[in-house]
Amino acid sequence: MSNITAPKTEGRISEIKKALKVYSKSSTPWLSNDEYIKKIKRFTTVRNAAISSKTGKEDLSWYTAICQIPTYFGIIEINPTNNKEKRLSRIGLQYYNALLKNNKKKQKDILFNQIEQLSFGRNNNGATRSDSDYELPRIALKAIYDFEPLKKSDLTKILYYVIEKNLGYNVVKTQIQSERAGNPKWKFGTTERAENKYLSDPKFIEFLIDNDIIIDINKKNNHRPTYCIPSDIRKLYGVRIDNLELTNRAIITSAQDVDEIEYAEEQTFNSSKILTSAELALRALKKPIPCSSGKTKRYRTDPDVSRTALHAQKYECQCGGKTHGTFLRKDGLTPYIEGHHVIPMKAQKDYPNDTLDIIDNIVGLCPNCHKKVHHGSETDIKDVLKKIYTPSRIAALAKFSIPDVDTLYNKYYK
């Protein structure tokens, strides 16, 4: 969960803009790293920054490292058939043109879309070694939004407890609120500190500051960084920040991997929340987002939607109710029930414009019934489906045109 990395190099737009200029002027579809280095070295500030303070020699890797942040945000893309070639992405070209025209609103719109849609924890070419369920830029942005003014050291503490200690954002949020209300402080001593350098000094913060998405109120005074969200960002994008998905958890479409699904659901339970009807309606409008993982196709799901469904169903198995008792989760309060998509997420490819990750399509099942519907015989599977794919649910999911249990079984469970 916490094997997370992020770009550790240049985050200033003034330098990144020079790299974007080189790619924008390329006469070929893809620009090789060697050609890029030849061109970027023409900028004196970039060339000087490439001189190692330790050896006094030129560090050629610095030139390509400038591209890490824009690659992280999908502004630069890597040739899938030759990783030594890059170019401006379609979004990147729009972003660069906005920079040239000083169109701040367009820059912010583009970056917010990227923050919402990209996976930063894994499968990101700007942080190739990262393999985490957590979305670092989203958590950082939401933490600043929730707790401004937020010292850099406190942001590190939040990232540490959410990601490295895996406590879940809402648990950490409650503790910080309690601390700010005057209750005993959370100890963050020498034995409790972020070992992960990507949490203690995330360079993308500098990039977001230069794009006026975050401000450092102490920057002019050269004091310790303290972050806030500008009032225009709070007004225009506040709802979107509040609804950011903080993990990239994805449902695996093959039944063989159901154990991994259940593990992921349990890991994100603490960080999920109960949604209002308005929030559910808003999230139901989101387009399904595929994300690759090797040869297995996945679709992102929202742990908040799943938890809201389980909460509405009183954490009872929808096959047997209270007679299918389980046990309490680690919080000691909530019965352990697993969320199951009645029309499974592997069917999402057939519905590109409508997400299956909605409350009407999620039922709570005890572990036994959940295993049965994935691994049981035809008779066992249909027995579960008859209890969860009821006439009222069929009506609620009418737009997916699956009229009965037999059709559902033959299309997606057989």
CATH number at residue 70: 1.10.10
Structure token digits, residue 367: 């572990």
In a domain, 129, yes or no: no
Residue 3 lies in a domain: no
Does residue 149 have a cis bond before it (omega within 30 degrees)? yes
Q: Mapping DSSP to helix (H, G, I), strand (E, B) and coil, where does residue 231 land? A: helix
Which strand (E) or helix (H) includes residue 26?
A: none
187 and 296 share a domain?
no
What pLDDT digit, counting tens, does each position of 256-287 carry?
A: 344 444 444 555 566 568 888 888 888 888 87
In a domain, 176, yes or no: yes
Determine, yes or no, domain membership for 125: no
Identify the weakest region by mean pLDDT among 67-71, 240-244, 360-364: 240-244
Q: Is there a single domain that holds both residue 280 and residue 385?
A: yes
Lowest-confidence region among 66-70, 129-133, 251-255, 367-371: 251-255
Task: Give the 3-state secondary structure percentages of the chain, helix then strand then coil, rounded to 5.
Answer: 50, 10, 40
Q: Which of 43-52, 274-283, 337-346 has the lowest mean pLDDT?
A: 43-52
Q: How confident is the model at residue 1 (pLDDT cuts 50, 70, 90)?
A: very low
Residues 236 and 273 in one domain: no
pLDDT of residue 100: 96
Looking at the structure, tell me whether residues 81 and 169 fall in a common domain. no
User: For residue 99, what are the domain limits?
Assistant: 13-117
Q: 246 CB contacts (<8 Å, ≥6 apart)?
A: 134, 135, 138, 139, 142, 162, 169, 271
Is a pLDDT exceeding 60 seen at residue 388? yes
Length of the chain: 414
Alpha helices, H only, 118-221:
136-147, 152-159, 169-180, 197-200, 204-210
Q: Are residues 266 and 379 in the same domain?
A: yes
Instruction: Identify which of 115-119, 177-181, 208-212, 367-371 has the greatest average pLDDT.
Output: 208-212
DSSP per-residue codes, 50-106: TB-TTT-SB-THHHHHTTHHHHHTTSEEE-TT-TTEEEE-HHHHHHHHHHHTT-HHH
> Of 85, 117, 149, which one is at a domain's C-terminal end?
117
Residue with tokens 């019934």: 369
367 in a domain, yes or no? yes
170 versus 291: which is more confidently predicted? 170
Q: Are both 308 and 217 inside the same structural domain?
A: no
Q: Which residue has the higher pLDDT, 1 or 182?
A: 182
Examine the domain organization and report whether 338 and 390 are in the same domain: yes
pLDDT digits (tens, 9 = 90+) for 178-225: 777 776 655 544 345 555 566 777 889 999 999 999 999 998 887 889
* Those residues with Cβ within 8 angstroms of residue 145's Cβ, 6 or more apart along the chain or in another chain: 229, 234, 238, 241, 242
Where do we find the tokens 């280095």? Answer: 37
pLDDT score for 410:
92
pLDDT over threshold 80, residue 300: no
Q: How much is the average pLDDT of 22-29? A: 93
Residue 288 falls in which region: left (phi positive, over 0), alpha (psi -120 to 50) or beta: beta
Residue 249, pLDDT above cutoff 80:
no
Residues 67 and 149 in one domain: no
99 and 185 housed in the same domain? no
Average pLDDT over residues 42-66: 84
Question: Do both 407 and 270 map to the same domain?
Answer: yes
Q: Name the β-bridge partners of 88.
A: 76
In a shared domain, residues 322 and 398: yes
Whether 231 and 264 map to the same domain: the answer is: no
* Domains of the chain: total: 3
- Checking if the pLDDT of 306 tops 80, the result is yes
378 falls within a domain:
yes
Beta bridge partners of 3: 131
Residue 202 lies in a domain: yes
Determine, yes or no, domain membership for 91: yes
pTM reported for the whole predicted model: 0.62
